[in-house]
Structure formats: structure tokens, C-alpha cells
Amino acid sequence: MIVSLKKFQEKHGLLDEACRQWCALSKDNNSLLDGVGFGDFYKKLSHEKYEEYRQNPNAFSITEPGKMIVLPLTRAEALTLEELVANALCGYQDKSTEDTLMDLEIKFAGLHSESATEGMRL
């Protein structure tokens, strides 16, 4: 399982690594001592390392434990949710997994609240 960019940044300690690299670079370049540009440097490093991770996740010691989610659904809700997931997996290929899951969460929240008002909840 591939973790999100945010989780990767946290688990791989990218902020620490970026700080170490920035300090090493600033020894040779005094103009970096004011910190201007560090944010862009961090983003670039994060995206480069994350792409390396996505290409070869086994080279990194990052594991995300599987989480079991139990939802009290009616049959109609379960079928609708299954359809939403299938559509998301097919239709959101250009989006990150995090964005896709957020879209699903929003759609499911709407579905769940509609069914609750109709008395369909278990």
C-alpha cells in the first residue's frame, strides 16, 4: 500500500532531511542563510523523494497498517457506495489518492445523510 504524500513526508522525516540539506548548502552559499526559498526547496525535495517512493516503495521502510472500517449500511447504500468507489477508481486516474478519497467521503456523507432522513438506517 502506497501512503499519501503527507504521510510520506511525516514518516520519512523529509522536513529534517530538507533542513540538513539546506544547512549544508548554506555553508557554500551565504545567501541561503536568510531562509528565503526554503519552502520551495522543501516542496521540490518532497515531490522528488515521493516519486522515488512511488516507483520503488520497497526501497523505503514505510508501511501503513491496514485499517478496517465498519459502516452500518443498508443494501441500497452498500450498492451505491460500491458504485461510487468503482467510478472513482476509473474516473479519477489523474487525481491523487487523497483527493479521490476526499471526493468519496463527501459523496458518501451526502448519501448517508439522505438515507438517514428517509429512515433507511440500520
Tell me what pLDDT residue 106 has: 64
Q: Could you tell me the residue range of the domain that residue 84 belongs to?
A: 75-117
Q: Is 70 among the domain residues?
A: no
Residue 67 lies in a domain: no
Do 16 and 44 have their domain in common? yes
Number of domains in the chain: 2
pLDDT band, very low/low/confident/very high, at 119 (cuts 50, 70, 90) = very low
DSSP code, position 75: H
pTM given for the model: 0.48
**pLDDT 10s digits, 51-99:** 998 888 888 776 555 555 556 777 787 777 777 766 666 655 555 555 6
Same-domain check for residues 9 and 55: yes
Residues in the chain: 122
The pLDDT, as a whole number, for residue 107 is 61
CA atoms of 95 and 98, how far apart (whole Å)? 8
Nearest residue to 60 (alpha-carbon basis) of 69, 73, 50: 50
Same domain, 42 and 11: yes
Distance between CA 26 and CA 29 in Å, rounded? 5
pLDDT over threshold 50, residue 43: yes
CB-count exposure of residue 112 (10 Å: 0-12, 13-18, 19+)? middle
